[in-house]
Amino acid sequence: MDQYVIKGGNPLVGDVEIGGAKNAALAIITAAIMTDETVLLENIPDVSDINALLGAISFIGATVNRMDRHTVSINGSTISGSSVDYDLIKKIRASYYLLGALIGKYKKAEVPLPGGCTIGSRPIDLHLKGLQAMGVNIKIEHGDIIAEAEDLHGAHIYLDMASVGATINIMMAATMARGKTTIENAAREPHVVDAANFLNSMGASIKGAGTEVIRIRGVQKLHRTSYSIVPDMIEAGTYMMAAAATGGDIFVTNVIPKHLEAMTAKLTEIGCLVQEYDDMIRVKADKRLKRTQIKTLPYPGFPTDMQPQMAVVLSKAFGTSMITENIFDSRFKYVDELARMGASIKVKGNTAIISGCERLTGARVAVPDLRAGAALVIAALAAEGVSVVEDIVYIQRGYEDFELKLKKLGADIEKVDSSRVIGNRIIQIAE
């Protein structure tokens, strides 16, 4: 497996351009199959999760034509069946969005139940409850969700948790249901709004996305559209944290500053200079940062997908910080790896107590999941000496050209094949 070899200590300086939001693109690529006309998507990120989902929809028969890294056309008229293969959902759990899309379009679907993952149990009970309220009969057999609706009708649905996935899945099915659907306690993330805007551009009738009440009036058909994916707030936040952790000064371009407000507020509070422009944000950290408290919450609260990266920033800050993870039940798996670099973090239940230390030192660390992987890279960039970050395939799921963008900011980072690394050193193998 590929690894990163990183020599830490360089403050990140310069500009970095943000790509399309992975979590918006996953929902939108799935929704695109709901019309039999051709959909053109621009600004999609070239990351393995997206490429896996494009593979999944072409597996069920959609016509997918990749014009370039960031542009794809999709036509759902050639879909031959409404059942999704287990291997596909193993590869990309977001293929559970096919449930809402296929039920909306064909009033039936067969999708394997997604398994858990390293950040916690990932049930989809709220997705299924919402679909059942809309008249979908759901059976779970041999690990598959078998869903069919004689009469897919609107419903008034209250989500026990503001689940991103459940909001989007129910919204997709409701788009082509008979009558009106209301989703109460809906998720408000920018990628939920982007999915709603995309569906509306295909002729759906969705109002209130971005608030906790979304109202959908079902339509018979959806039509062609061209759509550009919203910038990725988590990719942007990750570079903001990298600048903070390395004492850098960077401009993060192609962003929507409003989406970054939770990160901006916290970085400002701990002593960074954060300047907002129309579609750019500057983060400068020229002194040792201070402690703070973080509670992860649904948007617009501090995002759970930024929790590991913030922990790295605080592991070098002055004082004792506290992070409470309220969204997932085991999103602190990176703490033991961070401890190998000298961080002092105690995890009790869903809370991490971080005693800031003056310095981190390079070490060999293993990546447990996507966002923890990005956080461990940030730690390696901020540490003294050389680190080897293993299993970077997790990072490549959600960060396009991660090492190239960091190198452009002055990072000393190489992507190498694992056979070329002994200890913390790259050994030259005669070509």
Active site residues: 117
Residue 163 sits in the site that holds ligand EPZ (CB under 6 A)? yes
Binding mask 111-130 for ligand EPZ (x = CB under 6 A): -----------xxxxxx---
Smaller CB distance to ligand EPZ: residue 96 or 251? 96
- Residues 6 or more apart in contact with residue 46 via CB below 8 angstroms: 19, 69, 70, 400, 401
Of the candidate spans 21-29, 31-39, 53-61, 385-393, the one that interacts with ligand EPZ by CB under 6 A turns out to be 21-29
Tell which positions 319-358 bind ligand EPZ, by CB under 6 A: 327-328
Of the candidate spans 164-172, 251-259, 334-342, 400-408, the one that interacts with ligand EPZ by CB under 6 A turns out to be 164-172
Whole-angstrom CA distances from 111 to 123, 124, 386, 419 are: 14, 12, 44, 38
Q: Closest separation between CB of residue 94 and ligand EPZ, Å?
A: 4
> Considering only CA atoms, which of 372, 382, 367 is closest in space to residue 413?
382
- Residue 109 near residue 98, CB atoms below 8 Å: yes
List 34, 44, 60, 370, residue binding ligand EPZ (CB under 6 A):
370
CB neighbours of residue 269 within 10 Å: 14
List 50, 74, 88, 94, residue binding ligand EPZ (CB under 6 A):
94
List 54, 166, 183, 186, residue binding ligand EPZ (CB under 6 A):
166
Residue 108 sits in the site that holds ligand EPZ (CB under 6 A)? no
**Sign of the CA dihedral with 302 first, then 261, 270, and 309 last:** positive
Read out DSSP for 266-280?
HHHHTT-EEEE-SSE
CB neighbours of residue 372 within 10 Å: 28
Q: Closest separation between CB of residue 421 and ligand EPZ, Å?
A: 26
Smaller CB distance to ligand EPZ: residue 251 or 402? 402
Smaller CB distance to ligand EPZ: residue 166 or 272? 166
Binding mask 174-213 for ligand EPZ (x = CB under 6 A): -------------x--------------------------
Q: What is the dihedral of CA 342, 407, 18, 331, to 10 degrees?
A: -20
Q: Please tell me the distance from the alpha carbon of residue 32 to that of residue 34, in angstroms, as a whole number.
A: 5
Residue 312 sits in the site that holds ligand EPZ (CB under 6 A)? no
Structure tokens at 218: 């079902």
Q: Closest separation between CB of residue 419 and ligand EPZ, Å?
A: 29
Smaller CB distance to ligand EPZ: residue 159 or 317? 159
Residue 259 sits in the site that holds ligand EPZ (CB under 6 A)? no
SS3 383: coil
Residue in the shown chain whose Cβ atom is closest to ligand EPZ? 165
Tell which positions 22-61 bind ligand EPZ, by CB under 6 A: 22-23, 26
Q: Total residues contacting ligand EPZ (rule CB under 6 A)? A: 23
CB neighbours of residue 26 within 10 Å: 25
Beta bridge partners of 120: 117
Residue 74 sits in the site that holds ligand EPZ (CB under 6 A)? no
Read out DSSP for 196-265?
HHHHHHTT-EEE-BTBSEEEEE--S----EEEEPPB-HHHHHHHHHHHHHHT-EEEEES--GGGGHHHHH
Q: Please tell me the distance from the alpha carbon of residue 408 to that of residue 321, in angstroms, as a whole number.
A: 31
Q: Please tell me the distance from the alpha carbon of residue 345 to that of residue 332, in angstroms, as a whole number.
A: 10
Q: Closest separation between CB of residue 189 and ligand EPZ, Å?
A: 6
Q: Closest separation between CB of residue 357 and ligand EPZ, Å?
A: 27
Residue 417 sits in the site that holds ligand EPZ (CB under 6 A)? no
> Which residues of this chain interact with ligand EPZ, rule CB under 6 A?
22-23, 26, 94, 122-127, 161, 163-166, 187, 304-305, 327-328, 370-371, 398
